[in-house]
Amino acid sequence: MTQRTGSRIYLDHAATTPLDPTVFEVMRPYLWSEAGNPSSVHAAGRRAREAVDTAREQVASVLGCKPGEVIFTSGGTEADNLAVIGLALSEAGRGRHIVTTAIEHHAVLFAARSLRAHGFEVTELAVDQAGRVDPPDLEITVRPDTTLVSIGLANNEIGTIQDIPTLARIAHAAGARVHTDAVQAAGQLDINVDRLGVDLLSLSAHKLYGPKGVGALYVREGVNLERRAFGGAQERDRRAGTENVPGIVGLGEAVMRAEAERERRTAHMRSLSAALVERVTAGCPMVRVTGDPERRLPAFAPFAFADVDAESLLIRLDLEGIAVSTGAACTSGSLEPSHVIEALGLPERYRQGSLRCTVGRGTTLDEVSRAGEAIVGHVRMLRAIAAAPGVV
Site for ligand PLP in 223-242 (CB under 6 A): none
Of 356, 308, 365, 348, nearest to 332 by C-alpha is 356
Write down the number of H helices and E strands in the chain.
Answer: 13, 12
Site for ligand PLP in 335-364 (CB under 6 A): none
Instruction: Tell me: does residue 299 bind ligand PLP (CB under 6 A).
Output: no
Distance of CA 374 to the CA centre of its chain: 27
Residue 107 engages ligand PLP in binding (rule: CB under 6 A): yes
One of 17, 58, 77, 244 touching ligand PLP (CB under 6 A): 77
For 178, the 3-state DSSP assignment is strand
Contacts with ligand PLP: how many residues (CB under 6 A)?
14
Selected from 131, 152, 337, 353, the binder of ligand PLP by CB under 6 A is: 152
Helix (H, G, I), strand (E, B) or coil at 240: coil
Provide the 3-class DSSP secondary structure of residue 243.
coil
DSSP per-residue codes, 16-44: --PPPHHHHHHHHHHHTT----TT--SHH
Rounded to whole angstroms, how far apart are CA atoms 60 and 31? 23
Stretch that binds ligand PLP, among 74-82, 123-131, 292-300, 336-344 (CB under 6 A): 74-82
Closer of 3 and 77 to ligand PLP (Cβ): 77
Phi and psi dihedrals of 186, rounded to 5? -60, 135
Q: Pattern 207-226, binding to ligand PLP, x per CB under 6 A?
A: --------x-----------
Q: Is 105 in the site for ligand PLP (CB under 6 A)?
A: yes
Q: How far is the CB of 202 from ligand PLP (least distance, A)?
A: 7
Q: How far apart are CA 15 and CA 207, in angstroms?
A: 7
User: Is 66 in contact with 132 (CB distance < 8 Å)?
Assistant: no
Closest of 58, 65, 77 to residue 219, by C-alpha: 65
Task: Kindly state whether residue 75 participates in binding ligand PLP, applying the rule CB under 6 A.
Answer: yes
Q: Catalytic site residue 357?
A: no
Q: Is residue 327 at the binding interface for ligand PLP, with CB under 6 A as the rule?
A: no
Give the one residue of 76, 131, 252, 298 binding ligand PLP; rule: CB under 6 A. Answer: 76
Specify the residue, 254 or 379, whose C-beta has the smaller distance to ligand PLP: 254
Q: According to CB under 6 A, which one of 156, 180, 234, 358 is a site residue for ligand PLP?
A: 156
Binding string to ligand PLP for residues 162 to 191, with x set by CB under 6 A, is what? Answer: -------------------x-xx-------
In terms of Cα–Cα distance, which of 185, 190, 187, 188 is closest to 208? 187
Active site residues: 330
**Interaction site with ligand PLP (CB under 6 A):** 75-77, 80, 105, 107, 152, 156, 181, 183-184, 204, 206, 215
